[in-house]
Amino acid sequence: MATRLAWWSFRAPQSHPCCRRLRHRFLPLLLRAGTPLAGPVSVRLGSSPAAAWRGALVRSGGFVGGRWVQAAAAFPVRDPASGAELSQVADCGVAEARAAVRAAYEAGVAWSQVPAKERSALLRKWYNLMIEHKEDLAKIITAENGKPLKEAHGEILYSASFLEWFAEEARRVYGDIIPPSSKDRRILALKQPVGVAAIITPWNFPSAMITRKVGAALAAGCTVVVKPAEDTPLSALALAELANQAGIPAGVYNVVPCSRQQAAAVGEVLCTDPLVAKISFTGSTATGKILLRHAAGTVKRVSMELGGHAPFIVFDSADVDKAVAGALASKYRNSGQTCVCTNRFLVQKGIHDAFVDRFAQAIKKELRVGNGFDEGTTQGPLINEKAVEKVERHIHDAVSQGASVVTGGKRHCYGKNFFEPTLLSNVTPGMLCTQEETFGPLAPVIKFDTEEEALAIANSADVGLAGAMFIGVYVYIKDSEFMI
């Protein structure tokens, strides 16, 4: 039976005159040489733009072995813009995780033998369904993640593109003929699926991070168990519904949503179960280290995309307006909650003051804080209050050591998870915001003198998405824009 959720209009306190009335809307390397249906949740959102979203894509159960399953308990999924409950989702634990791994392992026997052309066709059907339901999928992202609907639309197209790409790549899993050392020998290398892949994904791209990993795995002939972030499980479950409609066989794509309380136990199962052959994780460096320790016991293949701390370097010869436009785009997408967002702005002293002044003007002119469903919003809420507190901690630490707040600097009156786009000047490399990834709408500017000084600061971080060998650095110089 469908569950209908009531929704309300919210009125801001009189102490916040700026907010009069709030109406809530809602191939990594994967190749080697009798439970009842959990009913759909339909949602009534009054006259909001989200009212037309397709309730049939919103599911409340886990998806294991081609069936929707419930767990002994459920956990709430909340709208980060208001804190209102969107849905209760099955809180899968160790038992459900093991069942999902077993289902994936058993399904893998047949799936690995499916001809590449057929796997390609099924992935293409899944892609087509994503495009058909792109509006509904985007609204789910905005409801549970908070990002502006325009950004959510972009994510769905980006997400679907991975299925499209790997639908074609499935046909191209070629082997190799290797020149032998002896003339009476012939060496052939055949590529085969590794088996079950455990996919652990973050909340900031709740759809794209799944299809990027799952599309590759299924194309290669692997089966998967997805553990989505506890803040954003609805997108993963909507993808499961569409995968099922596309005809992806039972057990090939499994989803085990769980609460924050169950996350460690479920993650440990996925990393230690001997039936799992591969781990793919996107998230924090600290969590990645824990998963690596778990995976070491059974020597699993592991792919990880961990924390970033990208610097953005502006030299005296730069076009200031172009640099500012690039700074806005690289810092404030998804309210600063992307792993490749610039975390440190390094600006040469000759252009520093002009850059800071124009950057502040652009922030005030171009960025609009609001509910993700409201037209014109560019800055939605942060994912939860813990994220807001981290931004506040970084600002407080910087100001206590001499940094200046040029604009922003505090929570926005729109709600407790909203934060003003913030620009700091007089920042030094010893401050917390230059040592840790903020993951929020905070832009600290460090003044430098020479190129050598800038490179030393840029390379002082111990994290980088491309590893120790490379750190993504956005560099603006005259007549050229490129990324090192």
| CA–CA distance, 471 with 484 (Å, rounded to integer) | 8
Closest CA to 63 of 188, 186, 238, 269: 238
Within 10 A of 356 (CB to CB), how many other CB atoms are there?
A: 23
3-class DSSP assignment, residue 124: helix
Amino acid at 446: I
Cβ neighbours for 7, distance < 8 A, ≥ 6 positions apart: 24, 26, 43, 44, 45, 46, 48, 84
Q: Is 339 a catalytic residue?
A: yes
Whether 270 contacts 225, CB under 8 Å? yes
3-class DSSP assignment, residue 449: coil
Q: Is 151 a catalytic residue?
A: no
Q: Which two tokens stand for residue 265?
A: 């136990």
92, 222, 271, 339: the active-site residue: 339
| CA–CA distance, 379 with 419 (Å, rounded to integer) | 9
Provide Rg for the chain, Cα atoms.
24
Is residue 10 packed enough to be buried (19+ CB in 10 Å), middle (13-18) or exposed (0-12)? middle
Closest CA to 258 of 78, 94, 38: 94
| CA–CA distance, 123 with 120 (Å, rounded to integer) | 5
144, 151, 230, 305: the active-site residue: 305
| CA–CA distance, 474 with 81 (Å, rounded to integer) | 31
Q: Which two tokens stand for residue 152?
A: 């959510």
Q: Which two tokens stand for residue 410?
A: 């505090």
**In the sheet where 474-477 sits, what is the strand order?**
404-407, 422-427, 442-448, 342-348, 310-314, 474-477, 480-483
Whether 409 contacts 422, CB under 8 Å? yes
Active site residues per annotation? 305, 339
